[in-house]
Amino acid sequence: MNYILKDFGKLLKQNHLAMRRYFSPLDTNSYRVYDKNIASLPLTVDFYGPFVYILDFREGPESNSPEYKEIIDTASRMLYVKKEQIFYKNRKTRKGIDQHKKLDNSGNLIEVKENGLKFLVNLSDYIDTGLFLDHRKTREMVRDSAGDKRVLNLYAYTASFSVYAAAGGAKSIDTVDLSGNYNRWGEQNLQLNGLAGEEYKFHSSDTADFLVNARNNLKRYDIIIVDPPTFSNSRKMEGIFDIQRDYISLIKACLDLLDKDGYIIFSTNYTKFNFDPSRFKNIHLKNITNTTIDEDFSKKNKPHRCWQIEKESI
């Protein structure tokens, strides 16, 4: 293990230097410095401001093992971060309602920056921190095109896409997530950036129910963001959501709300996902995955796949 940790340390130092040089001028202090680079050490290491967040994708080690302590020590030395500023979690395979299980109740929110915008993250209570770093570029795309647009953000989590849309001057934003806690978190993110307003609404709703109601109320949108979970069986929703099974009906429901010249951004991190364009009529589909992946993520081992969907002119 010692020789692996030595290589791990070298990569951390090298990557951190390169990423800091790249992101500092962009007013960004949250980025990845290690992305499972060594096959036998499948970890991810992210900076969130002055803190480091390590996620271990193996079934071990446990938090009190010698190996765990050696990884923490290596990261501390090579990244010049105090050990008490390093958060380490093990991402053991979780299924169903356990996949978003709360691990702690600290409630500690840390402010970080991304492209000049501020976000609150929680590095202790959950596996997911509140900000998915791999969609930084995708969020930029939304900000750049959101001016005076009506935006719908589905499966919004902590509303980072909504923050970018608001920063880009969106005319209105509907932010939809089943969790009231995440919606409150999202509202805080908007307020933190001075972007809150009556035209930016939050809905604690099942996405399928929201889409039906929106269609019945003749709602129309220019930009719709769809970044659903791979699988969900939350107690707050009826039935089970499966991305491979349900993406067709989901996208068709979004197309019903899409105005002329509008577009949908659809993304998934499900590695086995298969998008079948033949299941849709009169759409223009463009794979934009590579343009949505920033310098700190590998375009070879893609963290997600992403498509832009528009209606064809008839």
Name the pLDDT band for 93 (thresholds 50, 70, 90).
Answer: very low
Q: Which domain holds residue 142?
A: 132-311
Burial class (CB in 10 A: 0-12, 13-18, 19+), 314: exposed
Residue 106 lies in a domain: no
Residue 187 sits at φ, ψ, to 5 deg, of -60, -40
Q: Mean pLDDT across the stretch 77-82? A: 98
Residue 281 lies in a domain: yes
The angle at the Cα of 222, spanning 217 to 226, to the nearest 5 degrees, equals 85
Domain shared by 154 and 91, yes or no: no
pLDDT in tens, 26-78: 999 999 999 999 999 999 999 999 999 999 998 765 555 668 899 999 999 99
Domain shared by 86 and 230, yes or no: no
Looking at the chain, the whole-number percentage of residues with pLDDT higher than 90 is 84
CA 141 to CA 222: how far, in whole Å?
Answer: 14
Instruction: Report how many domains make up the chain.
Output: 2
Name the pLDDT band for 157 (thresholds 50, 70, 90).
Answer: very high
Q: What is the pLDDT of residue 91?
A: 79
Q: What is the pLDDT of residue 1?
A: 64
pLDDT at 95 over 60: no
* Residue 91 CB neighbour total at 10 angstroms: 15
Domain shared by 192 and 302, yes or no: yes
Domain shared by 210 and 164, yes or no: yes
Domain shared by 29 and 163, yes or no: no
* Helix, strand, or coil (residue 272): coil
pLDDT at 94 over 60: no
Contacts for 16 with CB less than 8 Å, ≥ 6 apart: 33, 47, 78, 79
Each as own residue / partner, the long-range contacts of residues 31-36 (CB below 8 Å, 24 or more positions apart, any chain) are 31/133, 31/294, 31/296, 32/133, 32/296, 32/297, 33/79, 33/296, 34/8, 35/296, 35/297, 35/298, 35/301, 35/303, 36/301
* Tokens 């001075």 belong to residue: 194
pLDDT in tens, 236-251: 656 788 999 999 999 9
Q: Mean pLDDT across the stretch 74-103? A: 77
Domain shared by 222 and 300, yes or no: yes
